[in-house]
Amino acid sequence: SASAIVIGSGIAGLAAAVRLQVKGYRVTVFEANAYPGGKLSQFEQDGFLFDAGPSLFTMPRLVDELFLLAGKNPKDYFRYKRLDTLCHYFFADGTRLNAAADEEQFADAAALATGVDKTKVLRHLRKSRYIYNTTADLFISRSLHKASSYLRWDTFVSFLKLPFLNVMDTMNGTNEKGLGNDKMVQLFNRFATYNGSDPYQAPGILNIIPHLEHHLGAYYPEGGMYSITDSVYRLAQELGVQFRFETPVTQIHIRNNRVTGVEAGGQTHAADVVACNMDVVLAYRKLMPTQPQPETILKQERSSSALIFYWGIGHSFPQLGLHNIFFSKDYRAEFAAIFQQNTVCDDPTVYINITSKEDPSHAPEGCENWFVMVNVPADKGQDWDALIARVRQQVIQKLSEQLCVDLAPLIRTEDLLDPRSIAAKTQSFQGALYGTSSNKRMAAFFRHPNFSSHAKGLYFCGGSVHPGGGIPLALSSAKIVDSLID
Ligand code: FAD
């Protein structure tokens, strides 16, 4: 049978490996790290278990689908529950809002907490659903770059300009018009960060994101986010996919406009198909430097990155849940700092994820495992050590005030992830979380397609290519690669 090589075992690489093996290919995955999962990994420290990267799980059917494709029962591998409360929001002025998954309940609580007109919230969410239903198939499920996806390109582009899609207005502009309430605008603007973008620049069409969380639902995988990686990895192994860890691919071999294999571990490995899950910028620059480089695409602005403090907290906080947001006072200034000044403002929004709320075994008795995240710019060589020291202080002070405790002495153990270590651990260009940003109006068209137009048999999957970053889109990219291979 034909052979396939997958470069990288991020979630998209794992999904591509499963799909290709099911298709009948003999699949080998080369992974630079000693472990699978890339950004979607996990570690333990002093009795606290931490999910290292992603914490919000949406569209679980994209994971289930992999097991079904292989003729297995997903429940035998991977279980998850739907969350009743999406997020605990803390606004800078002390206002609190627990966002219920139930739309009516959410709108009622929002009206009570912020004074927003309830019908506006409901209308805004309905609109989000409508835009999603009208566009998702085009944007997410198909290769935008194959003419066969559409009747005509120009018809498609004019479709995108239809006023209701809000491509011509910014996300913030759309939210201001739709909600007319500062706090709710801030809450809805935050969805831009789900793909590392700036709500003051990104087009209003990104308002499809709240639909994912508010209607399709937010989920918690039993055991934590890492069980997504773990279960798909197990499935791949069972199907016979070969894994070569600590074996970085150093070159993609291309001859006569056809991929022939890769160089890894000092050896040449032949393959009929290569699916590259490595960040596409570094894949071109490092693995195929002599091939034509799609500069316009490779030079797109990167998404934001993150600073994460993993804190083992020797205390429990009943007012917190699985997902918690402590908003900044000035959201516009926060994004201007990230995307224009390449720095972090003095009062950044702080996100805390606490999986021990769902899985008490993730922290010692009476303790909590805090994943504390601040959005920061991609790595452009800033003085990160100085920035991190300042932000750490500001975060501790902000949380201490909001939670009425002295937080610093409660931190029993600590680790850190920053743009430099994200880049080093997952070979992501500039440590961006989600590949390119969606700040430009037509950003969707500037992501790299899921195939190479220069080398037959070479495909791309993962957060840095079409349709974009985040687990659901990374999984979709593997699905599109699957559909492109006959
Ligand atoms: P990656 O996870 O980027 O992995 C790529 C893999 O390829 C790595 O294992 C790397 O070692 C390997 N590799 C690279 N080059 C080579 C080579 N030459 N040879 C061999 N191996 C190589 N998404 C969500 O859906 N929800 C969230 O809440 C969320 N939060 C996030 C928070 C953080 C802190 C981070 C970092 C990301 C977050 N994301 C979130 C984004 C999500 O993690 C990514 O979009 C997704 O995991 C990307 O998967 P990927 O398949 O592109 O590969």
Question: Which pLDDT band, with edges at 50, 70 and 90, does 160 fall under?
Answer: low
Residue located nearest, by CA, to atom 38 of ligand 1: 54
Same domain? For 323 and 377 the reply is: yes
Q: Is residue 324 part of a domain?
A: yes
Parallel, antiparallel or unpaired: strands 273-276 and 3-7: parallel
Q: Is residue 53 part of a domain?
A: no
pLDDT tens-digit map of 307-352: 999 999 999 999 999 999 999 999 999 999 999 999 999 999 999 9
- Residue 351 has a pLDDT of 98
Same domain? For 338 and 291 the reply is: no
Over range 392-396, report the average pLDDT. Answer: 98
Same domain? For 330 and 387 the reply is: yes
Ligand 1 centroid from CA 329, angstroms: 31
Domain boundary among 385, 402, 426: 426
pLDDT tens-digit map of 223-249: 999 999 999 999 999 999 999 999 999
Per-residue pLDDT at 154 exceeds 70: no
- For the chain, the average pLDDT equals 94
Q: Is residue 129 part of a domain?
A: yes
Same domain? For 364 and 345 the reply is: yes
- Residue 446 has a pLDDT of 77
Same domain? For 353 and 412 the reply is: yes
Domain residues for 22? Answer: 3-40+226-299+439-484
CA 429-434-440 angle, to 5 degrees, is 100
Q: Is residue 48 part of a domain?
A: no
Of ligand 1's atoms, which has the minimum distance to the CA of residue 8? 7
8 Å CB contact between 222 and 230: no
- Residue 136 has a pLDDT of 78
Of ligand 1's atoms, which has the minimum distance to the CA of residue 287? 18
pLDDT tens-digit map of 178-225: 999 999 999 999 999 999 999 999 988 888 899 999 999 999 999 999
Domain boundary among 381, 400, 426: 426
Q: Within 6 Å (CB) of ligand 1, which residues are found?
A: 7-13, 30-33, 38-40, 53-56, 248-249, 277-278, 306, 308, 422, 426-428, 433-434, 462-463, 469-471, 474
Same domain? For 361 and 259 the reply is: no
Same domain? For 144 and 258 the reply is: no
Per-residue pLDDT at 147 exceeds 90: no
Give 118 or 130, the one with higher predicted confidence.
118
- What residues pair up with 273 in beta bridges, in sequence order? 4
Residue located nearest, by CA, to atom 7 of ligand 1: 8
Give 386 or 444, the one with higher predicted confidence.
386
Same domain? For 204 and 131 the reply is: yes
Of ligand 1's atoms, which has the minimum distance to the CA of residue 14? 51
Residue located nearest, by CA, to atom 29 of ligand 1: 54
Distances 177 to 48, 101, 185 between C-alpha atoms, Å = 44, 23, 9
Residue located nearest, by CA, to atom 42 of ligand 1: 470
For 37, left (φ over 0), alpha (ψ -120 to 50), or beta?
left
Q: Is residue 153 part of a domain?
A: yes
Same domain? For 210 and 324 the reply is: no
Residue located nearest, by CA, to atom 22 of ligand 1: 8
- Residue 438 has a pLDDT of 86
Looking at the 3D structure of the chain, how many domains does it have? 3
| Rounded Cα distance, 241 and 22, in Å | 10
Same domain? For 410 and 334 the reply is: yes
Q: Is residue 133 part of a domain?
A: yes
Q: Edge to edge, what strands does the sheet with 458-460 contain? A: 242-244, 26-30, 3-7, 273-276, 458-460
Q: Is residue 350 part of a domain?
A: yes
- Residue 148 has a pLDDT of 54
| Rounded Cα distance, 75 and 142, in Å | 27
8 Å CB contact between 308 and 40: no
**ipTM beyond cut 0.90:** yes
User: The CATH number of the domain where 318 resides is what?
Assistant: 3.30.519
User: The CATH number of the domain where 461 resides is what?
Assistant: 3.50.50.60
Same domain? For 167 and 279 the reply is: no
Ligand 1 centroid from CA 429, angstroms: 11
Ligand 1 centroid from CA 39, angstroms: 4
Residue located nearest, by CA, to atom 5 of ligand 1: 10
Ligand 1 centroid from CA 410, angstroms: 31
Ligand 1 centroid from CA 306, angstroms: 13
> How much of the chain is in helix, strand and coil states, percent to nearest 5?
40, 25, 35
Same domain? For 308 and 420 the reply is: yes
Out of 14, 33, 39, give the residue to mutate to test ligand 1, the one with the largest number of ligand atoms within 8 Å of its CB: 39
Q: Is residue 257 part of a domain?
A: yes
Give 446 or 52, the one with higher predicted confidence.
52
Ligand 1 centroid from CA 13, angstroms: 10
Over range 249-261, report the average pLDDT. Answer: 98
Dihedral pair phi/psi, residue 193, rounded to 5°? -75, -10
Ligand 1 centroid from CA 10, angstroms: 5
Domain boundary among 214, 242, 271: 214
Out of 86, 226, 263, 277, give the residue to mutate to test ligand 1, the one with the largest number of ligand atoms within 8 Å of its CB: 277
